[in-house]
Amino acid sequence: MESEIKLKPRKKPRQKRSKETVSAILEATAHILQEEGYDKTSTNRVAKRAGVSIGSLYQYFPNKEALFTALFEQHHVEMLALLQETMVEMRDAPLPEAVRAYVHAMIEAHTHNPKLHRALMEQVMHLGIDYIQKLNATVCLMVEAYLESRPEPILPKNLKMASFVLVSAVESVAHTGLLYSDESFAMEELLDELCDLILRYLLGEQYECPPGSHKELVEGKAS
């Protein structure tokens, strides 16, 4: 509770000048965080790099954590916008197309600024969990709503859970694939595979129509 209060920016910058200052501070925070890591990201350095005095920094951010929280907020807003846009566009599209668009958007989102994304996730995730969870929940709801509204019949009965599984899986694969993959497989392939994963999950035998890609079963060696 108290922390929530403490983490909110001290004041919303209403004038253009102030907005620029805040921008510069966040940009500096992001830069130092991704280049040097959390431990080296001191408020003094951030202020210096942002070209403002340390006093000014504390005028807009009540403490160090607020810097990262604000970064997460930005991230959250951008992600949400991107996914929302996609979902709206795909509202009436057939399921396979919608799924592909969704996965594509998710991958895009992770490609936007991978280094910062990674740094946030690896070093200060705990400061952004509220945003992350909120985002996750929102996306789940959006997916659930979509599934509910689509015309095709699907296999999973518990839509809430299905949404959760889908969103988590896609997010994770995109995340891991983009950040830690040894580049041994391309995005294109990953995209295809994720679509298969989801569509088979949702449609079962109904699926398997896309032009030939995986028509035949691969024989197991041991058979």
Residues that bind its own copies (CB under 8 A): 37, 119, 121-126, 129, 133, 136, 147-158, 160-162, 164-165, 168-169, 171-173, 175-177, 180-181, 184-185, 189-190, 193-194, 196-197, 200-201, 204-208, 214, 217-223
Q: Which does 18 bind (CB under 5 to 8 A by kind): DNA, its own copies, none?
A: DNA
Nearer to its own copies, 105 or 175 (CB): 175
- Name the token pair of 200: 């088979």
**Tokens 């009436």 sit at which residue?**
92
Kindly tell me the burial class for residue 158, based on how many C-beta atoms sit within 10 Å of its own C-beta (0-12, 13-18, 19 or more). exposed
Question: How crowded is residue 215: how many other Cβ atoms within 10 Å of its Cβ?
Answer: 9
What is the three-class DSSP state of 14? Answer: coil
Q: Which residues of this chain interact with DNA, rule CB under 7 A? A: 11, 15, 17-18, 21, 39-45, 52-56, 58-59, 62-64
**Tokens 């922390």 sit at which residue?**
3
CB of 78 to its own copies, least distance (A): 21
- Amino acid identity of residue 29, one-letter, is T
Q: Which does 74 bind (CB under 5 to 8 A by kind): DNA, its own copies, none?
A: none
